[in-house]
Amino acid sequence: MHDPAAGDSPIGDGQATPADAAARAHAAALRQRIARLDHAYYVLDAPEASDADYDQLMRALQRLEAEHPDLRTPDSPTQRVGGAPREDLARAPHAVPMLSLNNALTDAEAEAFDARVQAALGLGEPVYCCELKFDGLAISLRYRDGVLERAATRGDGSVGEDVTANVRTIRSLPLRLHGAAPPLLEVRGEVLMFRADFERLNVHQREQGAKEFANPRNAAAGSLRQLDPGITAQRRLHFFAYGVVFAEGEEGGPGAAPPDPVAPAPPADSPAVPGPVHGGGADGVADAPTQSALLDALATLGLPVCEHRAVVQGISGLRGFYAAISARRDALPYEIDGVVFKVDAFAQQRRLGALARAPRWAVARKFPPREARTQVLGIDVQVGRTGAITPVARLAPVEVGGVVVSNASLHNEDEIRRKDVRIGDTVVVRRAGDVIPEVLEIVPELRPPDAREFQMPERCPVCASLIERGEGEVIARCSGGLICPAQRKQALLHFAGRRALDIDGLGEKLVDQLVDAGLVSHPAGLFDLDLPTLQGLERMGEKSARNLLAAIAAARSTTLERFIYALGMRHVGETTARDLARHFGNYAALAAATEDELLRVPDVGPVVAQSIRRFLDDARNRAEVDALIGKLEAIAAPAPVARSAALAGASFVLTGTLPTLSRDDAAALIEARGGKVSSAVSRKTRYVVAGEEAGSKLVKAQELGIAVLDEAGLLALLESTGGS
């Protein structure tokens, strides 16, 4: 008897033709490959292929099974959705399965979807609800009497993983719904990590020597599936609701409303696909006739719903939404890989029904892939505005996301070693936004025998200064500073900054014009600018030019600590500049100080002392500083500080927004009493001053048992130690 799971297809008297045997072998290979990729992506959170490569494999298998129906086995990836739940998390069965969506990769496929909908409904142009297709993790939330009771991942579509404790840490998600809620409400949505939080997480992973995440989607998945909710709480996750499945009775028990056999269930990898609505409940959610109305009703319950959605008519409306979102994709704070088109009216959705794997009334219109394979022709280094040395791969030109790419960032030397990228390798390149693309990984099996390892150059390719990498640091930097042309614009902006010489009106665009026109090459040159020169610049009128000249004139008189900070010496921030000014009293004494003498300054260690001495010993830097001093009228010595014995040397960290004090004002008050303001919380921190929207610094202070003050508490402390 034929076993369809075995993949054998009986033909005639049982003998298969060579073509059928080849098809069976091809199908088996595709199933095996897709199964391995599914396991790596959904279970291990370690993707082994790009989305584009995965989609190609799945479409190849779908075509093969369509041509040879007998090859379609129950265990085929085309017949199921997602991967198996992890065994170390409790299983969470879904009362209504979480399905997926079919993809439309081209305009023609989107047009075909619209044509099928029109033909099936027998109407004119259908009305669609359009939303974003997030690159996150599908989640099902069950609220009982308005209180969050259970959260479950998609898993295999029928059984997921219970991640309730972790989901409770998502701050944007209400633990109790707003207003009147139905007795039992199941919400489907997406958990995701914003780009900025993803970047911060990977910085932390690098600092801890831990494995970095490949992309925000996997970072969100890895964070949500932690066994320790405390780890999840430290990683900022977000949630967007996109659909509802609810009933008044217990799931699977007496009084339960059975799942509608016709209406499709929400997909796991797409927003804005509702499930069947059962039973009574809150006005709006239960009675919503359309997907767009349902999303509005979810928002009234306090559930986050993405604002980027629209109701459109016909194929022209679908094209318009796709074009609008594609144009603003890079400006979004999170990753999306397409948009979702859905018939808006639920009654029409029920008429259209669903296939085994996906609804007929919805489709995901995906963006062009942002990943591609190409060869590394060479590895050069670029010098950034701050002197950071970034290795960049020169690539054989390849189209990625509609743009021809010939260079890609390798970030730093450690990343090159970790990914084992060599000249001659075939690599996977990803483009995200307008920034330079990056190399994600190599393709080991395509490495040529003559592939060569990268060697970091010893000197800056722009100014020939030494390239240095401090102990424990990831980034190598050019030591040229003021004299490196690649850093010229950044040096000027830093010099004119509010905490340096405070030249109001000298912004980035103006600095670009001055440098590009060859009018200013070093900070001292700012003091040679005149009215005719400035008025000759683009968008610079007489009033603006006079205001800038007045700000430059005011900067001729400054303080020693501002002057030291303005020089932009490596490792010398505002606090260190202030300590140096107070210790030496004038620039000549600082310039003559040995490393041993520098080490006597509070909080100046060997690395900082060496960096200062290296800057001061460079003849080009000395010439630039001498030129600056010649342009200034006065460099005032620091005023005596009225110190409080109680706060002398006490370390404060400021976080969040205070009600009345700016951060600079608060820091000035603390320093006037002998305290010090630091940027990071450590065991040496005595106080953390927290305002509105205080972040991870407050969490760390609480973990370490450090005293936390609000603004009133800070002022009271300062008053008790000598006045405020």
Using 50, 70 and 90 to split pLDDT, how confident is the model at 722?
Answer: low
Domain assignment present for 463: no
Closest CA to 188 of 244, 117, 264: 244
Domain assignment of residue 697, yes or no: yes
Long-range contacts of 214-217 (CB under 8 A, 24+ apart): 214/46, 214/47, 214/440, 215/47, 215/135, 215/335, 216/135, 216/136, 216/192, 216/334, 216/335, 217/135, 217/136, 217/137, 217/192, 217/193, 217/335
Percent of all residues in the chain with a pLDDT value above 70, rounded to a whole number = 86
Question: At CA 420, angle to CA 418 and CA 425, rounded to 5?
Answer: 150
Q: Are residues 238 and 358 in the same domain?
A: yes
**Tens digits of residue pLDDT in 347-379:** 999 999 987 678 999 999 998 777 889 999 999
Q: Tell me, what CATH number does 404's domain have?
A: 2.40.50.140
Q: Are residues 608 and 694 in the same domain?
A: no
Residue 384's pLDDT is 81
Same domain, 208 and 325: yes
- The verdict on residue 645 lying in a domain is no
Bridge partners of residue 429, in order along the sequence = 372, 439
In this structure, of 182-196, 239-253, 659-673, the range with the lowest mean pLDDT score is: 239-253
Lowest-confidence segment of 100-114, 199-213, 249-263 by average pLDDT: 249-263
Q: Are residues 329 and 398 in the same domain?
A: no
The answer to whether 486 and 384 have CB atoms below 8 angstroms apart is yes
pTM score > 0.75 for this model?
Answer: no
Instruction: Work out the burial of residue 368: count CB atoms within 10 Å of its CB; fewer than 13 is exposed, 13-18 middle, 19 or more buried.
Output: middle
Q: Which of 425, 446, 467 is the last residue of a domain?
A: 446
598 found inside a domain: yes
Asked whether residue 57 falls in the same domain as residue 177, the answer is: no
Secondary structure letter of residue 586 according to DSSP:
S
Distances from the Cα of 271 to the Cαs of 266, 433, 706, in angstroms?
8, 22, 42
Are 115 and 138 part of one and the same domain? yes
Residues 514 and 377 in one domain: no
Where is the domain boundary, 391, 423, 446? 446
| Separation of alpha carbons 371 and 51, rounded Å | 8
Whether 14 shows a pLDDT value over 50: the answer reads no
Residue 492 lies in domain = 481-636
Number of domains the chain contains:
5
Within-domain flag for 641: no
Angle at 495 between CA 494 and CA 499, to 5 degrees: 75
Which entry of 133, 366, 676, 700 is annotated as an active-site residue?
A: 133
Half-sphere exposure of 422 (CA within 13 A, CB side): 13
The DSSP bridge pattern shows strands 310-313 and 438-442 to be: unpaired
Residue 716 DSSP one-character state: H
Question: Residue 161 corresponds to which tokens in the numbers above?
Answer: 């993983």
Residue 13 has pLDDT above 50, yes or no: no
> 69 and 111, same structural domain?
no
Q: Which amino acid is present at 414?
A: D
Do 61 and 97 fall within a single domain? no
Structural domain includes residue 465: no
Residue 223 has pLDDT above 90, yes or no: no
End position of a domain, from candidates 585, 602, 636: 636
> Is residue 193 in some structural domain?
yes
pLDDT for res 215: 79
Tell me if 669 is assigned to some domain.
yes
Judge if 577 and 496 occupy the same domain: yes
Q: Do 129 and 72 share a structural domain?
A: no
CA-based R_g, the chain, Å: 31
Mean pLDDT for all residues in the chain: 82
Same domain membership, residue 519 and residue 422 = no
Instruction: Give the pLDDT of residue 386.
Output: 73
Q: What CATH number is associated with residue 37?
A: 1.10.287.610
Q: What CA–CA distance (Å, rounded) separates 712 from 714? A: 5
Scan for tokens 């509070």, then name that residue.
Answer: 602
Residue from 513, 515, 535, 538 nearest 525 by CA = 515
pLDDT for 5 beyond 50: no
Q: Is 342 a catalytic residue?
A: no
pLDDT tens for each residue of 181-198: 888 899 999 999 998 888
Residue bearing the bigger pLDDT, 402 or 348 = 348
